[in-house]
């Protein structure tokens, strides 16, 4: 009996991608995952969150770990680019111009999934589709969503980051919410 390894390649890639996805999020116990606050990227919710110091590192650690998620300008899911992958060295950091360009593409822009809602409504986290996706409350808002090819369970899609049942930790979510409520500044 001859086994061709090429027939296993798609399964191996699928398993690898699933493993990467599961390793890129943290949980505070609310979403059912075991990781807890210890894996949170933020120790304390800052009074005035900085996009560059607090939000971007969270996005880079949880949302942009592959170009197939939200880490590529040209290949991100639902045309949502949230910055380059987590930098490995200072030389890999995003430039100020690239960060400003990325923010311009998400603040005040309609969601591809829920076209009547802004991805990030500066000054109003409660009206921001991205915040509802992060909080896993997007299905309860009554949005008219356009089902995406990857959405299996609901036209508004899954919570983000899209990992088994884990959400960002509560401190990360609160920091993003506070940043949006304070005007979603490029700071």
pLDDT tens digit string along 81-104? 566 666 666 666 888 988 898 898
What pLDDT is attached to residue 159? Answer: 77
Backbone angles phi, psi at 133, to 5 degrees: -65, -40
What residue segments make up the domains of the chain, in order of their start?
47-181
Structure tokens at 77: 């899911």
What pLDDT is attached to residue 98? Answer: 85
Q: Band the pLDDT of 1: cuts 50, 70, 90.
A: very low
Instruction: Give per-residue pLDDT as tens, 157-171.
Output: 877 876 544 578 999
Query: Are the CB atoms for 87 and 93 separated by under 8 Å?
Result: yes
For the entire predicted model, the pTM comes to 0.69
Query: Are the CB atoms for 121 and 128 separated by under 8 Å?
Result: yes
The residue whose two tokens read 């509802």 is 132
Backbone angles phi, psi at 35, to 5 degrees: -75, -35
pLDDT above 70 as % of the chain: 58
């Amino acid at each position: 009996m001859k086994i061709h390894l090429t027939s296993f390649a798609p399964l191996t890639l699928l398993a690898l991608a699933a493993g990467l996805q599961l390793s890129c999020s943290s949980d505070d116990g609310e979403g059912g995952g075991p990781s807890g606050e210890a894996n949170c990227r933020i120790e304390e919710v800052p009074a005035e969150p900085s996009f560059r110091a607090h939000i971007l590192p969270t996005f880079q650690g949880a949302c942009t770990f592959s170009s197939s998620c939200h880490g590529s300008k040209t290949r991100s899911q639902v045309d949502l680019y949230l910055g380059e992958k987590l930098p490995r060295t200072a030389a890999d950091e995003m430039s100020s111009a690239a960060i400003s360009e990325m923010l311009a593409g998400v603040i005040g822009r309609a969601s591809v999934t829920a076209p009547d809602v802004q991805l990030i409504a500066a000054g109003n986290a409660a009206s921001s589709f991205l915040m509802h996706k992060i909080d896993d409350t997007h299905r309860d808002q009554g949005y008219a969503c356009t089902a995406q090819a990857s959405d299996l369970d609901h036209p508004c899609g899954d919570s983000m980051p899209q990992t088994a049942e884990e959400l960002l930790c509560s401190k990360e979510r609160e920091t993003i919410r506070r940043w949006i409520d304070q005007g979603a500044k490029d700071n």
